[in-house]
Amino acid sequence: TLQLYRYDRVVRASLIIAALLIPFSFWYIQPNFGKLFSERTLLHLGEVARWAFPPDFSQLPLSEWLELSAVTVAMSLLAIAGAGLLALVLSFPSAHNFLLPGGLLVPSTAGLFHRILGWAVLLIARSILLVARSIPPPVWALLFIFILFPGILPGAAALGMYTLGILGRLMAEVVENLDDRPLTALKALGARGDDIFTYGILPLSSPRFLAYGLYRWEEAIRATVVVGLVGAGGLGHLLTEQLSSFDYRGVFTTLIVFVTLIFLVDQISAAVRRTFREN
């Protein structure tokens, strides 16, 4: 009860601070929304629209469009596969209720050594996830391109590092909010720590893990444009070349292909989630 009370106080204080910061931000930045509908803005918008329409898919042969789309999907799959495995490993020790005394696996009567070890593992795991998600994908991409040279692998590694930070944190939240009643029942039946993890924690966490993993895969597909802007390949790299040459018709065409690709990925993700829900 005390823990819930403290949590409610933190949430309440955060909402109050956010409510105060929003008007302060508008006052400090003083945005001029009139520029959005100014004559100059509408004139430039009309010019860009004339240059962009109609889309021209004949700029590239169909085989090249398919190849660039395949590279984009491959980059996102490599990223989510690596990030998902590492996030799965780091999410459990990143949860406060996993290795700390009184948690899911360690009794509250654990000695000083287990307390120090639990906190050390927690801080290390959380620090890794924090660093991974604090550095934006373009910066990760520049670092990996410098090390590995341009291509699919540095782009996938950049997306994977950032996705690891986000996905690991989401998975840790899942573990921290698990219903502990089934786990308590396993403990009462004499189950050991590895049995509790295998038959309790993992099955309870897996559906949410899968949902977050598929969601982050969709996000990784979108982020391939960002890492493509720094030379990581795929449709994003083509988009960079078109933007640098002010080829607005090509940009619009590439965006249509990209949005279509995202729509297909979203449908696949929804079908997988629906299958797991039904089963």
Q: Give per-residue pLDDT as tens, 166-177.
A: 999 999 888 888
Is the distance from CB of 230 to CB of 138 less than 8 angstroms? yes
Give 189's pLDDT tier (boundaries 50, 70, 90).
Answer: confident
How confident is the model at residue 2, as a pLDDT? 41
The dihedral region occupied by 151, where left means phi > 0, alpha psi between -120 and 50, and beta the remainder, is: left
Cα gap 47→12, rounded to integer Å:
48
How confident is the model at residue 232, as a pLDDT? 65
Which residue would you say has higher pLDDT here, 108 or 154?
A: 154
The dihedral region occupied by 102, where left means phi > 0, alpha psi between -120 and 50, and beta the remainder, is: left
Is the distance from CB of 97 to CB of 103 less than 8 angstroms? yes
How confident is the model at residue 229, as a pLDDT? 66
Which residue would you say has higher pLDDT here, 218 or 231?
A: 218
Q: What is the mean pLDDT of residues 214-228?
A: 83
How confident is the model at residue 4, as a pLDDT? 46
Is the distance from CB of 218 to CB of 268 less than 8 angstroms? no
Give 273's pLDDT tier (boundaries 50, 70, 90).
Answer: confident
Give 129's pLDDT tier (boundaries 50, 70, 90).
Answer: very high
**Cα of 149 vs its chain's centroid, Å:** 24
How confident is the model at residue 50, as a pLDDT? 79
Is the distance from CB of 257 to CB of 265 less than 8 angstroms? no
Cα gap 248→90, rounded to integer Å:
43
Q: What is the mean pLDDT of residues 174-193?
A: 78
Render pLDDT for 233-244 as a digit per residue (tens, 0 to 9). Answer: 778 888 888 888
How confident is the model at residue 43, as a pLDDT? 82
Give 165's pLDDT tier (boundaries 50, 70, 90).
Answer: very high
**Cα of 147 vs its chain's centroid, Å:** 23
- How much is the mean pLDDT over the chain? 82
How confident is the model at residue 107, as a pLDDT? 67
Identity of the highest mean pLDDT range in 98-102, 149-153, 165-169, 203-207: 165-169
Render pLDDT for 32-74 as a digit per residue (tens, 0 to 9). Answer: 777 777 777 778 777 777 777 887 777 788 888 888 888 888 8
Q: What is the mean pLDDT of residues 106-134?
A: 84
CA distances from 68 to 25, 143, 224, 228, 237 (A): 41, 23, 11, 11, 9
How confident is the model at residue 250, as a pLDDT? 82
Give 3's pLDDT tier (boundaries 50, 70, 90).
Answer: very low
